[in-house]
Amino acid sequence: MGGRAAATKGWVTGLALVALVGCRGAEGPAPAQPEPAPTVAQPAPTRAPVPATRTPPPTIETPSFFLGTAASDAPYASGSSGAFAIHLEGRGPWKVNQEYPLRIAVSAPEETGVRKANLEPTDAALWTEQAARFDVAFRPTTVGEHDVKCEVSFSMCTPEQCIIETRTVALQMAVN
């Protein structure tokens, strides 16, 4: 039994050795790794240009209100006084909330000569539940096209509910 165990042990060892050598032989040498391609500096990806801020519309109409600006169709004269209007009107059952602290912030280049940039209800030319109108006085000093933006914070109400809005409307003032 001792001889048989030794023979089996030798046979197993030999088989393991053949398997080990055979496997390595079948694999062959390790495959050569491809040479890395030379790196070339790539330009940074370009981003699409950021679109310019859109000019707010001259009017906004919803089921509850109309908000708009109105200027003279004829060009204003440099050095002469003028005015443009900001108009808010309720639609259907919606009314201008008389108790809300309505505010208008007028943003215009200095050369437009806007006399008052922040308006409130006491500045209104018309202040009723149906409508509000503000006449913005100015005296331009420079010829050209001038963009004016008006941010209006207001509230509209029906007998059942109120909404609070902040909207921006704009106009282009032509000065000769």
pLDDT in tens, 87-138: 999 999 999 999 999 999 999 999 999 999 999 999 999 999 999 999 999 9
pLDDT digits (tens, 9 = 90+) for 22-76: 444 444 455 555 555 444 444 444 454 544 557 788 999 999 999 999 987 778 8
Evaluate whether residue 82 is within a structural domain: yes
Evaluate whether residue 14 is within a structural domain: no
**What's the pLDDT score for residue 53?**
58
For the cut 60, the answer to whether the pLDDT of residue 166 exceeds it is yes
Evaluate whether residue 21 is within a structural domain: no
* Structural domain boundaries enclosing 70: 59-175
> CA 43 to CA 33: how far, in whole Å?
28
pLDDT digits (tens, 9 = 90+) for 144-156: 999 999 999 999 9
The DSSP string of 66-125 is EEEEE--SSPBPTTS-EEEEEEEEE-TT-EE-TTS--EEEEE--GGG-BS-SEE-GGG-S
